Amino acid sequence: MATRIFTSFFELFLIFLVMSTKNVRGQGRASVPAMFIFGDSLIDNGNNNDLPSLAKANYFPYGIDFKGGATGRFSNGYTMVDTIAELLGLPLIPSHSAASGDQMRYGVNYASAAAGILDNTGRNFVTRIPFNQQIKNFENTLDEITDSLGAPDVADSIARCIFFVGIGSNDYLNNYLMPNYNTKSQYNGQQFADLLAQQYSQQLSRLYNLGARKFVIAGLGLMGCIPSILAQSNNGVCSDDVNNLIVPFNTNTKAMINNLSANLPGSRFSYIDVHNMFQDLLANARSYGFSVVNRGCCGIGRNRGQITCLPYQMPCLDRKRYIFWDAFHPTEAVNVLFGRQAFNGNKNVVYPINIQQLASL
């Protein structure tokens, strides 16, 4: 039964590649066959829903502005990859946990809340799907496809798809900065960033060896300015210590991308500079239409960040004016803004090429 499902999926997938002039949801031709997504709660859309995990968002008011309600997205509505999918001409990409058959025709989202580059990241939330396991899940899908259709057809198909990876924040928030982890006593900030870069490079190389060629890599934003961190001090200002801690990670990620581009034939990368995006947004919030920059729309305590959004808690009403939805995650309005910037922005926010340019290659 499982083999028939996967055969049906990739027969449809390959037909889509051949007949690429067909419309997607009546919006015109898609610029790529599919998008495969890996990461954490910033882009998870339901993979933790059925896990014995404390990292879930499948309850109201999450999804209050999303047509499907509370799907498992850690947002009031769209995530960044939802926006990017639509701009690529694709439908919203289904979660790995819920997708089957024709639903997977345009890609799969493997992201999991609390996941990290390191396998032990996020263990305080009990169950999550680390990046290594996400890659394994993709590999399992690929094995089914290859057995059914043959390696050459699959390789050509996969090489034309977008592989979006946004991960690393939990390796800091739910590992390095957690008092019940001994990571901080083992590594200084630079050493930890080097460890992450080494693992990250190996993981992206695994995806390359599985056929990925077009990569979109999201850097880390100003995590010292999220409500959860703001709530840890009385002055309510961004934590320079946390923001400085992640600088080496972003620096290493850019260097890693340059190295992979030089050593993996045929690979192409777009790096989303979320740090610069957030810096610009906080400095020019009102010009973007935001008036609340330092507290969550849904949460409890100082900066509405001491306890994140609880089931059936009433959120703020003017959500489009808030940068942060809960203690950790941006609102739909920010996700849409950043998704559009990543898709067709200039080199200040995405480089060496934006996603639109990557898709056209």
Long-range contacts of 174-181 (CB under 8 A, 24+ apart): 174/114, 174/116, 174/121, 174/122, 174/124, 174/125, 175/116, 175/118, 175/120, 175/121, 175/122, 176/245, 177/242, 177/245, 178/124, 180/124, 181/120
Residues 6+ apart with CB under 8 A from 67: none
CA-based nearest residue to 36, from 107, 100, 86 = 107
CA distances from 305 to 30, 327, 329 (A): 39, 4, 10
CB burial readout 16-35, b (16+ within 10 A) else e: beeeeeeebeeeeebbbbbb
Compute the C-alpha angle 241/245/250, nearest 5°. Answer: 140
Q: Which residues are catalytic?
A: 41, 326, 329
